[in-house]
């Protein structure tokens, strides 16, 4: 059984078909890349999976449970994490505080304990801090723990957001353009980080990305979308040679070995 399955999903906004009868399956331990030109329906697909948008038709199944129509918080409770195209860091907070905010939502101490700084609250706070620092260590960002999150470069903020998502110990992580704003050397570092998340954390990854070098280098399978439809799926080498993909997407990028603009 697949860890994640999308079955015949369709979504329309005001008569515009964002997704048309899209189906896919993701097995545990895979890195799956989703590519396609702007407006292909990639972000809508992620929104349907994580509960931000509800499909007009079709179903989403996570670990064998149909989650269509569930609220995002309930879906997250089944082990689904998500990053977004734009920065979700809180202004006025340090990097460490941003990570700890997510942990506070999972805390067990009550409002009275928090207000009076009881020993149990202090212990929980210390545990949260250590978990947040460990996550920053994992992504190589501990040196930035005391800096303002929104003062970092956009690329650094994306890595911090990945760290914050990992604190929740997701089984599946949806990444929406994680390489945006990264230089070529940073893209190579992200490639390594994504492999470590899969290999060391056991997390299955589904990634929307325009940097073709990253997608083709790190993905086990690549799904190609165009105009709301899935037009191809296969191993990276097969996708590179697929004439429909070349016509719809890769051909527009020029040399597929280079990052997309």
What confidence tens digit (pLDDT) does each residue in 218-241 have? Answer: 999 999 999 999 999 999 999 999
Q: What is the DSSP string of 34-100?
A: EE-STTSSHHHHHHHHHTSS--SEEEEEETTEE-TT--HHHHHTTTEEE--SS--PPTTSBHHHHHH
174 and 261 part of one domain: yes
Q: With the C-alpha atoms ordered 55, 57, 58, 61, is the resulting torsion angle positive or negative?
A: positive
54 and 106 part of one domain: no
* Residue 118: CB atoms within 10 Å: 14
Do the Cβ atoms of 31 and 218 come closer than 8 Å?
A: yes
d(CA 105, CA 135): 17
119 and 177 part of one domain: no
What are the tens digits of pLDDT across the range 54-67? Answer: 999 999 999 999 99
What are the tens digits of pLDDT across the range 191-211? Answer: 999 999 999 999 999 999 999
177 and 160 part of one domain: no
CA trace torsion 136, 138, 142, 145 (10° rounding): 0
Q: Does residue 85 sit within a domain?
A: no
Burial annotation 96-112 (CB, 10 A radius, 16+ → b, else e): bbbbbbbbeeeeeeeee
Q: Does residue 129 sit within a domain?
A: yes
182 and 69 part of one domain: yes
pLDDT at 124: 74
Of 168, 190, 206, which residue constitutes the final position of a domain?
168
pTM confidence score? 0.86
d(CA 194, CA 69): 29
Of 168, 196, 225, which residue constitutes the final position of a domain?
168
User: 121: pLDDT confidence band, cut at 50, 70 and 90?
Assistant: low
Residue 45: which of 117, 35, 107, 122 has the closest Cα?
A: 35
Q: Does residue 121 sit within a domain?
A: yes
Q: Does residue 232 sit within a domain?
A: yes
Calculate mean pLDDT across residues 76-105.
85
pLDDT at 260 over 50: no
146 and 97 part of one domain: yes
pLDDT at 115: 45
69 and 112 part of one domain: no
d(CA 227, CA 241): 20
154 and 175 part of one domain: no
Of 168, 201, 222, which residue constitutes the final position of a domain?
168
Domain holding 100, by residue range, is: 90-168
Q: Does residue 84 sit within a domain?
A: no
Residue 76: which of 8, 170, 176 has the closest Cα?
A: 170
Q: How far is CA 88 from CA 83, 164, 171, in A?
A: 8, 10, 21
The share of the chain scoring above pLDDT 70, in percent, equals: 87
Residue 80 dihedral angles phi and psi, to the nearest 5°: -110, 125
239 and 140 part of one domain: no
What's the CATH code of the domain at 200? 3.40.50.300
User: 87: pLDDT confidence band, cut at 50, 70 and 90?
Assistant: confident
Calculate mean pLDDT across residues 123-130.
84
d(CA 255, CA 237): 14
Q: How many residues does the chain have?
A: 261
pLDDT at 113: 43
Average pLDDT of the chain? 87
pLDDT at 91 over 80: yes
| 41: helix, strand or coil | coil
Residue 11 dihedral angles phi and psi, to the nearest 5°: -140, 130
180 and 257 part of one domain: yes
pLDDT at 117: 55
Who has greater pLDDT, 181 or 35? Answer: 35
Calculate mean pLDDT across residues 38-61.
95
Q: Does residue 143 sit within a domain?
A: yes
d(CA 163, CA 144): 12
Residue 55: which of 15, 13, 2, 83 has the closest Cα?
A: 13
Q: Does residue 40 sit within a domain?
A: yes
| 104: helix, strand or coil | helix
114 and 129 part of one domain: yes
Calculate mean pLDDT across residues 135-149.
95
pLDDT at 246: 85
23 and 146 part of one domain: no
| R_g of the chain computed on alpha carbons | 19
Who has greater pLDDT, 125 or 166? Answer: 166
Q: Does residue 198 sit within a domain?
A: yes
Number of domains making up the chain: 2
d(CA 207, CA 225): 13
pLDDT at 88: 83
């Amino acid at each position: 059984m697949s860890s994640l399955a999308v079955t015949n999903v369709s979504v329309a906004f005001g008569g515009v078909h964002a997704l048309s009868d899209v189906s896919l399956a993701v097995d545990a331990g895979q890195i799956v890349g989703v590519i396609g030109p702007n407006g292909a329906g990639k972000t809508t697909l992620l929104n349907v999976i994580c509960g931000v948008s509800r499909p007009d038709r079709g179903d989403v199944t996570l670990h064998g449970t149909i989650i269509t129509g569930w609220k995002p918080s309930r879906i997250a409770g089944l082990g689904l994490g998500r990053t977004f195209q734009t920065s979700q860091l809180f202004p006025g907070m340090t990097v460490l505080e941003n990570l700890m905010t997510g942990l506070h939502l999972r805390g067990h101490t009550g409002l009275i304990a928090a207000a009076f700084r009881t020993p149990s609250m202090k212990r929980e706070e210390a545990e949260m801090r250590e978990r947040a620092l460990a996550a920053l260590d994992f992504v190589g960002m501990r040196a930035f723990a005391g800096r303002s999150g929104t003062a970092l470069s956009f690329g650094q903020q994306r890595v911090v957001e990945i760290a914050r998502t990992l604190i929740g110990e997701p089984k599946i992580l949806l990444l929406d353009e994680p390489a945006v704003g990264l230089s070529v050397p940073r893209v190579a570092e992200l490639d390594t980080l994504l492999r470590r998340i899969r290999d060391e954390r056991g997390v299955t990854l589904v990634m929307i990305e325009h940097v073709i070098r990253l997608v083709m280098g790190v993905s086990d399978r690549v799904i190609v979308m165009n105009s709301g439809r899935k037009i191809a799926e296969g191993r990276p080498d097969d996708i590179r040679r697929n004439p429909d993909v070349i016509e719809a997407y890769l051909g527009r990028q020029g040399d597929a070995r280079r990052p997309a603009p």
